[in-house]
Structure 1
Amino acid sequence: MHIPTITAPSVAIAGTTDRFPVRRIFCVGQNYADHAREMGSDPDRQEPFFFSKPADAVVANGSTLPFPPQTQDLHHEVELVIALGAGGKDIAVADADRGAEDRRCGIGHCDILAACAQRDHQLD
């Protein structure tokens, strides 16, 4: 039996041939009040929430974005992407910049109707 080699997800590092490994993707939802209102939430009554996505949710620049055929309203938004090189637990606010290897602009996607229907915030 042949077991295929699995390549870990990674993203290109601009200006080099190096790649940054993607191990985890942590996200914050409802952190922009105006956008939260656009999506039907009340940011004055609901706090931002945290969720994660699998590492293989990363799609390389210029690649085709796969999505389920039943997707009804594919929504995109610009995201701040921060690559942490040495973990990110219990970092003091004053030291927050130290662990950031790189900062990028990314694009997040979700099916708006599916996301709105999942009010328990399970957006994986």
Structure 2
Amino acid sequence: MIRLVRQYVASRSIRSSSRFQRGNRSRARPGKREPTHAEILAQRTRIGELLGQIRDLQAEWTEEAIERITTENTTLKQRVRQLAADNRTLDERLKASRSNLRFQDRRVADLEARIADPASTI
């Protein structure tokens, strides 16, 4: 994979630089626009970044790094479980509070009705 990218970069840099160095633009195809220096620079920069990412992905992991990441992953999983349990608890408390509020609203409405019409309670 890296070899193919490097070959592509090499072929692109040879083709693009040779046109500009010779100053001969007559070889360019009619209707096709020449890539600007900025476009070429941007493409080369992007290719360099991608090659760096490939190199990083191919790097071997050390035992310490594997152990650290595994430990961190375990810790994060435990934290997720704890947060999920806390979320369930808070959700249950919220439901209970809403139920209590509905009950209290009915009780207040009943008491207001009694105050408004004292004859109906006798």
What TM-score does the superposition give when structure 1 sets the normalisation length?
A: 0.20
Structure number with higher helix proportion: 2
- Bigger radius of gyration among the two: 2
Structure with a larger share of its residues in strand: 1
